[in-house]
Structure formats: C-alpha cells, structure tokens
A and B are shown apart, each in its own frame.
Chain A
Amino acid sequence: MEQMTTVVVQETLAAFTVYMFQHMADQTGGETPKSGPAGPMASEAEFAAARFRSLSDEIRGCAILGPRGVLAATGELEAWAEPAAEMLAAADAAAGGNSSHAHVATEEGEAYVVRLAGLAMVAVTDRFTLASLVLADMRATLRELARPADESIAEAA
C-alpha cells in the first residue's frame, strides 16, 4: 500500500488547523451550548465534517444530516441536500425500516451511510477504502457531535 508522503500529511494538517482556528470561538464559548433539544448546531456540524474530511485523502466529501435536513457538508449544502436524502431513503427502503448503516461500492467510488443518535451522515470515498475504518470514523464523528455539552466540558476539565 502506498504510504502518504510527509508533505501531504503536513498540507492536510495545515488545512485542518486553519479551519480549527476559524471555529475556535464556537468551540470555547462557555455560553453557547454544544447541543440542545434541536440537536447540534451547524457550526459544530461543519467542524465535525471538516475534521472527518481531513482524516484521509481517500475521503472525497461528506454531509451530516439532522432531523430538519443537512446541517453541514464539505461542499455546497444545497448540492448535498437532495442526493444525501435520496441515499438515506434508498438505504431505509432496502432495510425495510431505518437502516443503521449502508455501504455501496461502484466503479466510480464508494458511498457510505451511517445513522446514530438521531443524526445521519453520508460520505463518499475513493474505491477500495477499508469500510470498517470509514464506518468507525463516521460513527465517532456522529457520537462526538451528539454528545451533550456538559459531558464535553467535564472531559476537557
């Protein structure tokens, strides 16, 4: 397997760090709850989507969906809304109810769906990615996003 070069790793890290600093105020603001009854805020979802995207060069993009639609995506929200909803609907129809996760591998790439804690996430990767790793990262992203604010603060303290 081809090893990622140091330059690529540093570029990924640099891109992610800039994004992290842009959202620093949202992450440290004590008055702003991380999540409420309506679910996580869009800024946290954007941060989570960017963090997930930065995990690997093989991840092409992703979108995080809440009960009212797309919360965040690695591209235009409007562009992701319909295909993401369509993918979730197709997975649910195939499962005969709510699907917990799905993996569709095509010649052009691979699509993943994960549902967790009232949230859903769709992701697109290159071909031949390790499905278990991608699914585990998607679950970790949603789990972190769904975690209540007081739990995150207690862990950080």
Chain B
Amino acid sequence: MPPKPHRLVMDRVSGYADEAAAYLRRRRLTRKPFARVYAEGGGGAMHPPESESGRALFLAAARLIDTAR
C-alpha cells in the first residue's frame, strides 16, 4: 500500500530540517575565530591571529565586544 501523500511531505520536511540542524551543528563545532578585511579597491584578505595585523584586529574587536556588553 503506498504511503499517504502528507506522510511523504512530512518525511521530506523533517529530512531537510535534520540536514539543516546537522549543518549548523558542524558549523558551530568547526568554526574558528577569523578576521577578514576588504579594501576600498575591492580586494579582501584573511588576517590570522598570529600575524601582526590579525593580532591588532582581534585586540580591537575584543575591546569593541567588551564595550557592547
């Protein structure tokens, strides 16, 4: 006997929801702190915390975040 049509829709929706939840969980676990800066000319670059510019960015960001508490 074929499944009822609404069951198919519900299965599909809950499947998508499960996938989305897993994606968000993976994103939260794997995402590391980062700094991205884009120049007015259009180019953008990552600045790792180990670099001098990255260190300055992370320090400034930390201070800004403290201000917003």
Classify chain B: how many residues form its interface, as a range. 20 to 34
Q: How many residues of A contact B (CB 8 A)?
A: 37
B residues near A105, Cβ cutoff 8 Å? 31, 33-35
Picked from B34, B47, B67, the residue with its CB within 8 Å of the CB of A75 is B67
Nearest CB on A from B54, distance (A):
8
Instruction: Using known A-B contacts A75-B68, A111-B65, determine if residue A103 contacts B36 with beta carbons closer than 8 Å.
Output: yes
Question: Does A90 lie at the interface of the complex (its beta carbon under 8 Å from any beta carbon of B)?
Answer: yes
**Separation of A1 and B63 alpha carbons in the complex (Å):** 29
**Separation of A15 and B65 alpha carbons in the complex (Å):** 23
Q: Are A98 and B62 in contact (CB under 8 A)?
A: no
Question: Does B61 lie at the interface of the complex (its beta carbon under 8 Å from any beta carbon of A)?
Answer: yes
Nearest CB on A from B23, distance (A):
10
Q: Are A104 and B57 in contact (CB under 8 A)?
A: yes
Q: Are A106 and B68 in contact (CB under 8 A)?
A: no
Q: Are A60 and B69 in contact (CB under 8 A)?
A: yes
Q: Are B38 and A95 in contact (CB under 8 A)?
A: yes
For B69, the closest partner residue in chain A by CB is: A60
Listed from nearest, the 4 A-B pairs whose CB atoms lie closest are A61-B68, A124-B68, A104-B61, A111-B61
